[in-house]
Amino acid sequence: MKFLLVAGARPNFMKIAPVLEAFRPYRDAHEVRLVHTGQHYDARMSGDFFHDLGIPEPDVNLGVGSASHAEQTARVMVEFEQVCLRDKPDWVVVVGDVNSTMACAITAKKLGIRVAHVEAGLRSRDMSMPEEINRICTDAISDLLFTTDRGAGENLLREGVSPEKIKFVGNTMIDTLLRHIGRARELPLPAGLAGQRYAVLTLHRPANVDCEDTLAGIMEAIGGIADRIPIVFPVHPRTAGKLNGSSRHPNLRVVEPMSYFAFLGLVAHSRMVLTDSGGIQEETTVLGIPCITLRENTERPITCEMGTNTLVGRDPARIGAAAAAVLEAPPPSPRQPELWDGRAADRIVELLLHEHPLPC
């Protein structure tokens, strides 16, 4: 069989790397090609990840670059259609919830190619999030839906998805974390930092960074937390130009985007993480690092159920109170949700090759 595996943005690479590795023993019998859409095209946002995660150079790079959601999605669809027509794959495997995920799924499905979605069924119930639209559209048309937890499967069943399409396999991003955490922990911390004596901040969602007043309120709360503990802030490119001096605090260290290993090591040794990311909520759960999520909702409620993640929204008082509670309590123990055992990618490849072969 022929498989096209699609990655487009930094979180995708963490999820696709173990799937590529799990296919390795079968390469003599099956053709597996990696397509990079180029949605994240900056080396700091993608190139470093290929090196760190041992991902081979993509077989195809669509090079779509940055644009509006509509334009970027359209570019991916136009370019990916040509790849599908040329390669004639039996399966297209997409991961996550970025524009590339939805665009390649729709393109493949309209060409009669079967689609598998890795990390299916996650729902925030917030339709103002582009990622939620991407998730719903991709899941609605996929032939196989690989879920990270049982709650995701329940979401799909409520939406009318046939049970036989839903496969609970675990979390491929955690496959990547468990494989590399030892190496990441061995890296030296940035000068002046000591383990468990600093926090980490990430911000990139439009709802948090595009409104000047909202961002100012969040950064006011961050300044209050920085009065008590140093904070390292790797700045996402979309956030960098919007800070307008609000990041000036002697205890807030603003740094460039970091490589996967450097960032993972930074998080693993931290006292807590403040973030609006999705994947970091899962990584901190497995690492046992308190996570304060600067959103009103999450598509990963299992992280809250495990007790490591707290939703606080954008209210400065709630942010400050949650951070104070973390600093005054003992660190939580690491948590391992069901099947987050480092073998999710093996289960995915086994299902694709043996339980769902080509129809006669």
Domains and CATH numbers, the chain: 2-171+340-355 (3.40.50.2000), 187-327 (3.40.50.2000)
How confident is the model at residue 165, as a pLDDT? 97
Q: Give the pair of three-digit tokens for residue 236.
A: 């996402």
pLDDT confidence tier of residue 360, bands split at 50, 70 and 90: very low
How confident is the model at residue 42, as a pLDDT? 58
Closest Cα to residue 19, out of 181, 182, 178, 175? 175
How many whole angstroms separate alpha carbon 332 and alpha carbon 218? 25
Three-state DSSP at 343 gives: coil
How confident is the model at residue 43, as a pLDDT? 54
How confident is the model at residue 46, as a pLDDT? 54
Q: List Cα–Cα distances, 85 to 72, 82, 112, in angstroms.
A: 20, 5, 11
How confident is the model at residue 44, as a pLDDT? 54
Q: Give the pair of three-digit tokens for residue 55.
A: 């991902």
Q: Give the pair of three-digit tokens for residue 341.
A: 């055992």
User: What angle (nearest 5°) sits at the alpha carbon of residue 63, between those of residues 62 and 64?
Assistant: 95
Q: For residue 97, is pLDDT > 80? A: yes
pLDDT confidence tier of residue 355, bands split at 50, 70 and 90: confident
Q: Annotated active-site positions, please?
A: 204
How confident is the model at residue 120, as a pLDDT? 98
How do residues 40-68 score in pLDDT, each as one tens digit? 655 554 556 777 888 888 999 998 888 88
How confident is the model at residue 27, as a pLDDT? 93
Mean pLDDT of the chain: 93
pLDDT confidence tier of residue 184, bands split at 50, 70 and 90: very high
pLDDT confidence tier of residue 132, bands split at 50, 70 and 90: very high
Name the least confident of 93-107, 146-160, 168-182, 346-360: 346-360
How confident is the model at residue 41, as a pLDDT? 55
How do residues 75-84 score in pLDDT, each as one tens digit? 999 999 999 9
Closest Cα to residue 131, out of 8, 306, 243? 8
How many whole angstroms separate alpha carbon 46 and alpha carbon 220? 31
Q: What percent of the chain clears pLDDT 70, i.e. is strictly above it?
A: 96
How confident is the model at residue 243, as a pLDDT? 86
How do residues 249-284 score in pLDDT, each as one tens digit? 999 999 998 989 999 999 999 999 999 999 999 999
How confident is the model at residue 48, as a pLDDT? 66
Q: For residue 16, is pLDDT > 90? A: yes
pLDDT confidence tier of residue 248, bands split at 50, 70 and 90: confident
